[in-house]
Chains A and B, each alone.
Chain A
Amino acid sequence: QQQVKQSPQSLIVQKGGISIINCAYENTAFDYFPWYQQFPGKGPALLIAIRPDVSEKKEGRFTISFNKSAKQFSLHIMDSQPGDSATYFCAASKSYQLTFGKGTKLSVIP
C-alpha cells in the first residue's frame, strides 16, 4: 500500500525553466510534509517543508503548494539550474515516521 504517490518518475527541464513535481497522500492524519533532495551517493537532505494549515511556502527558488482538500502537494523549482539535477522525494509524516514517495529524477539541461 503506497501512502504517498509521486509523479513524474523523471523530469527533464531546460536551464531557467520551471520544474514541477506532484505528490498525493491518502492518510489524513499526516501533519508534516517535507521535500528532500538526494544526490548520488549521498543521503537525502531536507529542502523545504510545509504544515497542512498553510497553502503555500516559498524559500528562494523553491515553493511548496499544498491542497488539503485534494490531499495533494507539489514542489515548484523556479529558474532551474544544472546544479538542481538530483532525485527529489516528497514525504509525509505523522508523529516521527516519514513516509516517502518513490522519487523524481530531475535533469536540468543547459
Chain B
Amino acid sequence: DTGVSQNPRHKITKRGQNVTFRCDPISEHNRLYWYRQTLGQGPEFLTYFQNEAQLEKSRLLSDRFSAERPKGSFSTLEIQRTEQGDSAMYLCASSLGGSGQETQYFGPGTRLLVL
C-alpha cells in the first residue's frame, strides 16, 4: 500500500534557518494539498495544486512560505527565516478527481519545532 509519504517526519531548527519538506502523493493523484496543524487544533488549509499548477494559497501562507510541485508529482514546502510560530505539524494530502468531493488522503506529517 503506497500511501502519501512525507519526509522528514521530524525537524528541529533554529529560528532564522530555512527548512524544506517533501511530500510524495499517491501515484496518479492529480491534486495535492498542504495543511498545517497546531496542537489541539484541526488542520488548516495552506495551499493546493492541480497537477503542477498552484491554484490557491491561504492567507496563512506568508511570503516566507513557498510550495512547488514540479512535473505534477512530488511537492516541496519551504519555509524561509523560520519563526517560533511556525512550529506545527505540516500535513500533505492528495486526491484523484475534480469534483471537490473526492477523498483527501493524508500523509503522516512533518513535525517542525523552531527553537
Contacts and interface: CB of A to CB of B under 8 A. Distances in A.
Interface in B25-65: 31, 33, 35, 40-45, 48, 56
Contacts of A42: 108-109
Contact of B100 (A36, A46, A49, A95): A95
Nearest to B48: A96
Contacts of B104: 46, 98
A97 B101 contact: no
Interface string A15-34: 00000000000000001101
**Which of A4, A44, A102 has the most CB atoms of chain B within a 10 A radius of its CB?**
A44
Contacts of A43: 4, 91, 93, 106-109
B108 A96 contact: no
Given A42-B109, A46-B103, A96-B56, 5 more contacts: A94-B100, A96-B31, A96-B100, A98-B43, A102-B42
Q: Chain B interface: which size bin?
A: 20 to 34
Contacts, number: 61
A89 B40 CA distance: 11
Contacts of A4: 42
A71 interface: no
Contact of B42 (A31, A45, A91): A91
A96 B41 contact: no
A98 B45 contact: yes
12 contacts: A34-B103, A42-B109, A43-B4, A43-B107, A43-B108, A45-B105, A45-B106, A46-B104, A93-B101, A95-B100, A97-B48, A102-B42
A109 B107 CA distance: 28
A94 to B, nearest CB: 7
A60 interface: no
Contact of A100 (B44, B56, B108): B44
A32 B101 contact: yes
